[in-house]
Amino acid sequence: MVAASADEGTNSLMEGPDEHGRFGRFGGRFVPETLVPACAELEDAFRSAWADDGFRAEFHSLLTDYAGRPSPLTDCVNLSTELGFRILLKREDLNHTGSHKINNVLGQTLLAKRMGKSRIVAETGAGQHGVATATAAAYFGQECVVYMGEVDIARQALNVYRMQLLGAEVRPARSGSRTLKDAVNEAMREWVASVESSYYCLGSVMGPHPYPWMVREFHRTIGREAFDQSTALLDGGLPDVVVACIGGGSNAVGIFSGFVDTDVELVGVEPAGGAAVARGVPGVVHGSMSFLMQDEFGQVQEAQSVSAGLDYPGVGPEHAFLADVGRARYEAVTDSEVLDAFELLSRTEGIIPALEPAHGLAWMIRARDELAGKTVLLNLSGRGDKDVAQVQAIRQGDPAALDTVDFSRTNGDAV
Ligand SMILES: *Cc1c(COP(=O)(O)O)cnc(C)c1O
């Protein structure tokens, strides 16, 4: 494996990836022969759409009029006093459907419409990306098929019903461990089989080129807004540190993109049980080269976290690149730190966060000495309504509530 050289430093969030979809030595397109034409067609379509002012204007008005953007920036006076540094929150929790995910699915379903594809195929783990995709497909009047592992379907009755309510068909993935990675495989198979009419809507900055690039572009609005809002609030200044949680890495790439060309420190926070960047090794998963958790035999390891939304063994290739060149730093926090952070933000600011961004806050609490006197911007990627029952059960001492297999994956999603 060659190390990323200095001249690959230009291959950054603003410039990259290269024409092969590589971020330094990561990314690319590692797919079976049958998927190559579909990826190439998608790349061409996205390239032309993204160069078209009309497409961008339509996307922008969807973000404004349907998703409710721009999301506000909240200056947290109480929490700042408590922790000894200034905390700003980028409020992605206030978007329609309750997280940043809506940016990506609106971009992709709009692209599908432009490509003349009337049928959307998606994968989902615990259901959040499936629900977001079904929402956008309903808006556009598109047929929507969501693959979901049989095991996840059994655990996620409410999200399955939500998707059905939104008009989507939920299809069980019955192979392998019957969870997220099997749902991805089934969705990709279905995409190839019906590529004339179908569009594959992937849920994070992962998968084969052009997905990591395209999904980043659809989330770039988070970073652009946050940059403008910070400079307005801080009289032309910037925060010292920008923090985001990492599942596949899309909300983090979105907010990092606004600050990557500045001196602001970038910190990605993973669950200790799924620390792909902090403790993973290079490898190929779901079509691109990145860091992932492997066992001693090179098999992809199951991730474990109280937050199902971060329960993914790999991470998007751009994060592997940013870690490799030292532009971003990656930290891991434990479930117990996350639960404390979840409660602290609720109590001090009246904002119940999703368990995923509570990871970011958990690291900030741990690093409070290092952060003393600084200004820290946290991407609050989603709201916590979906996690309240789980946290209550954990706090009431239900051991199953912490068990990732039986209960903790009932809310949230990996991709
Ligand atoms: C899905 C989800 C995540 C994890 O996905 P990324 O691609 O890493 O952003 C994080 N936060 C929330 C609220 C989510 O729903």
Written as one string, the DSSP assignment of 207-270 is SSTTHHHHHHHHHHHHHHHHHHHHHHHTTT---SEEEEE-SSSHHHHHHHTTTTTSS-EEEEEE
Name which residue sits closest to atom 14 of ligand 1, judged by CA.
309
Q: Are residues 77 and 55 in the same domain?
A: no
Domain count across the chain: 2
Burial class (CB in 10 A: 0-12, 13-18, 19+), 268: buried
Q: Is residue 197 part of a domain?
A: yes
The atom of ligand 1 lying closest to the CA of 252 is 9
Q: Mark whether 252 and 378 lie in a shared domain.
A: yes
Region of 249 please: left (phi>0), alpha (psi -120 to 50) or beta. Answer: left
Among candidate residues 189, 211, 233, the one where a domain is terminated: 211
366 shares its domain with 234? yes
Last residue of a domain, one of 192, 211, 230: 211
**CATH number of the structural domain spanning residue 44:** 3.40.50.1100
Q: Does the C-beta of 383 come closer than 6 Å to ligand 1?
A: no
Closest-lying ligand 1 atom to the alpha carbon of residue 414: 1
Residues 88 and 111 in one domain: no
415 residues of the chain, pLDDT tens digit each: 233 333 444 445 567 799 999 999 999 999 999 999 999 999 999 999 999 999 999 999 999 999 999 999 999 999 999 999 999 999 999 999 999 999 999 999 999 999 999 999 999 988 999 999 999 999 999 999 999 999 889 888 899 999 999 999 999 999 888 888 889 889 999 999 999 999 999 999 999 999 999 999 999 999 999 999 999 999 999 999 999 999 999 999 999 999 999 999 999 999 998 788 877 888 888 899 998 877 777 777 766 677 766 766 679 999 999 999 999 999 999 999 999 999 999 999 999 999 999 999 999 999 999 999 999 999 999 999 999 999 999 999 987 776 443 333 333 333 3
In a domain, 351, yes or no: yes
Kindly state whether residues 172 and 303 are assigned to the same domain.
no
Q: Are residues 54 and 85 in the same domain?
A: no
Query: Which listed residue (39, 76, 201, 245) is catalytic?
Result: 76
Q: Which atom of ligand 1 has the smallest separation from the CA of 415?
A: 1
pLDDT of residue 309: 62
CB atoms near residue 129 (< 10 Å): 29
In a domain, 373, yes or no: yes
Q: Do 158 and 261 belong to one domain?
A: no
In a shared domain, residues 358 and 230: yes
The H or E element that residue 134 is part of is: helix 128-140
Expressed as residue numbers, the domain containing 338 is: 73-98+220-402
**H or E element in which residue 39 lies:** helix 36-50
> If you measure from the C-alpha of residue 303 to the centroid of ligand 1, how many angstroms do you get, rounded to a whole number?
15
* Residue 8 is assigned to a structural domain of this protein: no
The answer to whether residue 119 sits within a structural domain is yes
Same domain (yes/no): 253, 390: yes
Do 237 and 148 have their domain in common? no
| pTM value surpassing 0.85 | yes
Sequence-distant (6+) residues with CB within 8 A of 340 are: 362, 365
How many Å apart are CA 91 and CA 353, to the nearest integer? Answer: 10
Q: Which two tokens stand for residue 165?
A: 């309510």
Asked if residue 379 and residue 301 are part of one domain, the reply reads yes
- Tell me, yes or no, whether 391 lies in a domain: yes
| Ligand 1 centroid, distance to 240 Cα (angstroms) | 23
Tell whether 171 and 52 lie within a shared domain: yes
